[in-house]
Structure 1
Amino acid sequence: MSFPKGAARIVCLLPAVLMTGCATPGLLPQFNTPSVVAPVTVGQRDLMYMPIPPQPIPVAVYAFTDQTGQLKASDTGINYSRAITQGGTSVLISALNSAGNGNWFTVIERERLDNLLRERQIIREMRRQYLNEAETPAQVLPSLLFAGVTLEGGIISFDSAVKSGGIGARFLGIGASTQYRTSTATVYLRAVSVKTGEVLANVVTQKSISSYATSAGVFKYVKFDGLLEAEVGVAANEPSQIAVQAAIEKAVYALILEGAKPGPKQLWSFADAKAGQAWLDRYADDRRKSLAQVYEDNGGLPVSRSAK
């Protein structure tokens, strides 16, 4: 079968493109890959290198949950899976343990307190039955630690497709297109005094979640009765769990620096005041840039007094 001159070129080049795409690492999913330890994120790295306080601060986390109530979007029908992770408490505890390479906080288990108390009761009962102990010695089962600060909040918003769009072109049956979509996860974190119930510090962080799809195709009659049709494409989605983790890590980072600001409401300090001040200066600079961006996005109108 003979092809027109232009069509012959397409027929010759298209298999090469498809074969190259199939050979490109990451274009097709890989199977039977070994499990790995989760890589260190940028936010976790910042927490690990943060200057440490004079002594660790006992904190308790009861629950840090998904407060959006959103279900995962589906184009084929009802989907009862949640849009974002339900393990916010575990992510927050991991972030707290990363701060100062584990030297910032003494994290006290409270999410599964009922399990902890039940296990302690089993110990007391077994020792009473087999050792005839009326009271379990304190050195065997000391009292639980208590915290002066509890951390509250949650994942309060997940906005899908905040930005979406694409671009494409087609000429003589040959074309390509790219589409993108951006969603946003928002996290609130606050420190509360156990003695008074006062909210000592409060921070809000956001993280964008991006996805895109790129495709190219050919749909062309190469002869009166011969149709050439082929397409190739690739799509990538940023995991929502990684985005939520990044937002929570940033919230812990911001909470530490908000609480370390000099003033009447200072909550804690750095063991190395000079190193801590450098981090506070960088944080203040980031805040100024954020306010400048709000000013620009607001069309040059001044931001509110409270934002300043």
Structure 2
Amino acid sequence: MSACALPWRPERPRLYLVALAALSLTACALQKPAEVSNEAQLTPATPSTIDLMQLPPPKQKIVVAVYGFRDQTGQYKPSPDSSFSTAVTQGAASMLMKALKDSGWYIPVEREGLQSLLTERRVLRAVENPRNGGQKDAVPNLLPAAVIMEGGIIAYESNTRTGGLGARFLGIGASTKYSVDQVTINLRAVNVSSGAILNSISTTKTIFSYEIHPSYFRFVNYYDLLEIEGGYTRNEPAQLAVKEAIDAAVAHLTVQGIKNNQWRLKNPDDWNSPLIQRYLDAEKDYTLTTTPRPVEASDDTGPDKDGSRPAAL
């Protein structure tokens, strides 16, 4: 018998049972968590991303520029996180560029890294092409944008709604807690020729987090207490919420442009597609919650299918 082994005694069966249960629980707790070493994959598509990729094709793609889409909230993560960590992502401009590209309606041109692009173009002009007798290659002009996309993340509200529920009976219980955050972005399209704001959209996405905490307390005898606890927490990534809000804003902005005859569908019959009608219904629901204003005679009710009236772009 080893020195660390306890001799068996009839009065200690519960003690051995408790020790065996504790060792089993410890072994389970020390197991490697699942899904922590998966390989990198594409960012999951949000429902708004799927809508963007299913938009009907345009008659002509629109060249757009994004100079910046910044965090305008001024919010930082709460303690104990670093006081220099912002509550929302600082890469919203990249998300916007991808959303514009995924929609199939826009041709995004590089403007955020314009200085690097101009530097590289100067390098190209300085390179001589031997096949042209020492003449320098002609670098084509940059593609000018017809529309500038402006805006940013304008609000981030934490714990807009919190709550929880718990119950315990005979030492067996469970509790749950949840909290809801909210992020809001604004996106507007500016006509480069006139500087007029063609459309302006604000979208809001909630960020849902919850925690489930089961527990078990039981006296195995007069002096020994068995305690088992567990927990599961689910926090929705804030960057995915920002991405979905941006994707939804691009989709709404595109549908509004079609409605206001600012850009056209390749097939005018696509105006009656379920996807476009769903976004139009969402806009109607929004206007019903606001004070109605008189409709002017020049207001557009939809795209011109006969092409008799020129579009703004």
State TM-score, norm by structure 1. 0.80
Percent of aligned pairs sharing the same letter = 39
Aligned residue for 1:298?
none
Shift of the 48–286 alpha-carbon distance from structure 1 to 2, 3 Å rule, reads same
- What is the rounded CA distance, in whole Å, between the counterparts of 1:106 and 1:62 in structure 2? 14
Deviation of the 1:31 alpha carbon: 3.1
Please say if residues 127 and 137 of structure 2, whose CA atoms lie closer than 8 Å, have aligned partners that are also in contact.
Answer: no
- What is the rounded CA distance, in whole Å, between the counterparts of 1:234 and 1:28 in structure 2? 12
Aligned residue for 1:299?
none
- What is the rounded CA distance, in whole Å, between the counterparts of 1:306 and 1:230 in structure 2? 62
For residue 287 of structure 1, the aligned residue among 271, 276, 283 is 283
Aligned residue for 1:168?
166
Please say if residues 190 and 202 of structure 1, whose CA atoms lie closer than 8 Å, have aligned partners that are also in contact.
Answer: yes
119-128 vs 43-52, which deviates more? 119-128
Aligned residue for 2:86?
82
Please say if residues 188 and 200 of structure 2, whose CA atoms lie closer than 8 Å, have aligned partners that are also in contact.
Answer: yes
- CA displacement, residues 262-299 of structure 1 (integer Å, 9 cap, x when unaligned): 4xxx311111111123344222222334566x5xxxxx
- What is the rounded CA distance, in whole Å, between the counterparts of 1:39 and 1:174 in structure 2? 38
Aligned residue for 1:61?
66
Q: Residue type matched to 1:93 in 2? A: M
- What is the rounded CA distance, in whole Å, between the counterparts of 1:261 and 1:31 in structure 2? 46
For residue 252 of structure 2, the aligned residue among 251, 254, 257 is 254
- CA displacement, residues 205-251 of structure 1 (integer Å, 9 cap, x when unaligned): 01111111101112333322111111011111111111110000000
Please say if residues 68 and 155 of structure 1, whose CA atoms lie closer than 8 Å, have aligned partners that are also in contact.
Answer: yes
Aligned residue for 2:310?
none
Q: Residue type matched to 2:77 in 1? A: K
Shift of the 219–212 alpha-carbon distance from structure 1 to 2, 3 Å rule, reads same
Aligned residue for 2:57?
52
Deviation of the 1:40 alpha carbon: 2.6
Shift of the 162–269 alpha-carbon distance from structure 1 to 2, 3 Å rule, reads same
- CA displacement, residues 182-216 of structure 1 (integer Å, 9 cap, x when unaligned): 11110100000111111110001011111111011
Task: Flag structure 1 segments of 5+ consecutive residues without an equivalent.
Answer: 295-302
Instruction: Look up the SS of the partner of 1:242 in the other structure.
Output: helix
Please say if residues 261 and 280 of structure 1, whose CA atoms lie closer than 8 Å, have aligned partners that are also in contact.
Answer: no
Please say if residues 64 and 154 of structure 1, whose CA atoms lie closer than 8 Å, have aligned partners that are also in contact.
Answer: yes
Matches within 5 A, 1:190-269: 190-262=188-260, 266-269=261-264
Instruction: Look up the SS of the partner of 1:36 in the other structure.
Output: coil
- What is the rounded CA distance, in whole Å, between the counterparts of 1:49 and 1:239 in structure 2? 25
Q: Residue type matched to 2:292 in 1? A: R
Instruction: Look up the SS of the partner of 1:107 in the other structure.
Output: strand
- What is the rounded CA distance, in whole Å, between the counterparts of 2:81 and 2:94 in structure 1? 31
Q: How well do the aligned residues superpose, as a CA RMSD in angstroms?
A: 3.3
- What is the rounded CA distance, in whole Å, between the counterparts of 1:205 and 1:188 in structure 2? 7
Q: Residue type matched to 1:267 in 2? A: Q
Shift of the 133–88 alpha-carbon distance from structure 1 to 2, 3 Å rule, reads farther
Instruction: Look up the SS of the partner of 1:177 in the other structure.
Output: strand
State TM-score, norm by structure 2. 0.79
- What is the rounded CA distance, in whole Å, between the counterparts of 1:77 and 1:48 in structure 2? 37
Please say if residues 190 and 203 of structure 1, whose CA atoms lie closer than 8 Å, have aligned partners that are also in contact.
Answer: yes
Q: Residue type matched to 2:85 in 1? A: S
Q: Residue type matched to 1:171 in 2? A: F
- What is the rounded CA distance, in whole Å, between the counterparts of 2:174 and 2:83 in structure 1? 31
Aligned residue for 2:95?
91
Shift of the 77–149 alpha-carbon distance from structure 1 to 2, 3 Å rule, reads closer
Task: Flag structure 2 segments of 5+ consecutive residues without an equivalent.
Answer: 1-11, 296-313
- CA displacement, residues 69-123 of structure 1 (integer Å, 9 cap, x when unaligned): 211122x364321111111111001000111xx3x11111100000000111122
Which one has a bigger Cα radius of gyration?
Answer: 2
Aligned residue for 1:115?
116
More helix by share: 1
- What is the rounded CA distance, in whole Å, between the counterparts of 1:307 and 1:183 in structure 2? 36
Please say if residues 60 and 264 of structure 2, whose CA atoms lie closer than 8 Å, have aligned partners that are also in contact.
Answer: no
Please say if residues 213 and 232 of structure 2, whose CA atoms lie closer than 8 Å, have aligned partners that are also in contact.
Answer: yes
40-49 vs 190-199, which deviates more? 40-49
Please say if residues 173 and 220 of structure 1, whose CA atoms lie closer than 8 Å, have aligned partners that are also in contact.
Answer: yes
Please say if residues 18 and 232 of structure 1, whose CA atoms lie closer than 8 Å, have aligned partners that are also in contact.
Answer: no
- CA displacement, residues 33-53 of structure 1 (integer Å, 9 cap, x when unaligned): 111222332111111110111
Please say if residues 172 and 216 of structure 2, whose CA atoms lie closer than 8 Å, have aligned partners that are also in contact.
Answer: yes
